[in-house]
Homo-oligomer: A and B are copies of this chain.
Amino acid sequence: MAEQTGRREAGPAAGPDGEPVSLWERLERPPVARTVLTHEQIAAAAIEIADADGLAAVTIRGLAARLDAAPMALYRYVKGKDEVFELMVDAVVGAEPDLPPAATWREAMRAQAHRTRDTTLAHRWLIQVPPQARAALTPRRFAAIERSLAALDGLGLDADHRMAVFDTVTAYATGAAATETTMLQLMEGAGWSSGHELRTALGPQMRWLMSTGRYPAYQRTLTESRHIDDASWRFELGLECVLDGIACRLGI
């Protein structure tokens, strides 16, 4: 029987129990396919795991299993687990839909902020990714920044102010999206499905804290608020404030 190239016998010299494995047992074992992966496949598999079971479920072993590969085989493609995270973030950034060309800087910034929020909510594990992996300088991230900065050209702003505008909108969008996502996860973890339940079924600790009467302003705000469940409303109002402020202070 001709040997298949590209494959070979799985031949560990010893089993997990330390007992040497006989030649015959080795011949009996199915040949293990040589792993040929791409970074895209790794990223996609990791994202599937994270979307389904959370970021903590993304382990080298689990990822390898999903890819039908040996755990150590992944290290041919990444230097360590951190790079898996980088791949995940880059893939998610790359999968974002292209923004339609914006007529004004304001539209461009608004669209970018909304996209940041959408992506964060679609992949809630993003906020748990170690910051250094999230901030990694990848081509797709560069491209995203480039597009936003390009939208700020021709407004008479110098480089410092262009950067400041971009950073300010980004800071607001990431901060707001992170807070919203965290709250969603907190509610899910507690088995609540909406903010309303959160306030009526109020967690014991929260109820106790409120009942002390030490937080009147907070309590009043919570009970009187009508848009409290409407995170979109709050995000958009805040965003318009930020954009207004930029327009106002920078005269654009």
Residues of chain A touching chain B, judged by Cβ–Cβ distance below 8 Å, are: 127-128, 130-132, 134-135, 137, 139, 142-143, 145-146, 149-150, 152-153, 158-164, 167-168, 170-176, 178-179, 181-183, 185-186, 189, 203, 205-206, 209, 214-218, 220-228, 233-234, 237-238, 240-246, 248-250
Counting every copy of the chain, the complex holds 2
How many angstroms from the CA of A46 to the CA of B205 in the assembled complex? 24
Q: Known contacts being A131-B181, A179-B171, A179-B174, is A245 close to B241, with CB within 8 Å?
A: yes
Q: Quick check: A163 and B217 within 8 Å, CB to CB?
A: no
Q: Chain A interface secondary structure, helix, strand, loop or mixed?
A: helix
Q: How far is the CA of A182 from the CA of B163 in the complex (A)?
A: 17
Kindly state the separation between the CA atoms of A6 and B220 in the bound complex, as whole angstroms: 49
> In the complex, A250→B249 CA distance in Å?
16
Please tell me if the beta carbons of B179 and A142 are within 8 angstroms of each other in the complex.
Answer: no
Q: Which residue of B lies closest to A205 (CB)?
A: B137
Contact with A143, one of B174, B214, B228, B237 (Cβ below 8 angstroms): B214
Supply 17 A–B pairs (Cβ within 8 Å), ascending by A. Answer: A127-B131, A128-B131, A132-B185, A132-B189, A135-B186, A143-B215, A150-B217, A153-B217, A159-B220, A159-B226, A168-B176, A168-B238, A175-B175, A237-B249, A244-B244, A244-B245, A245-B248
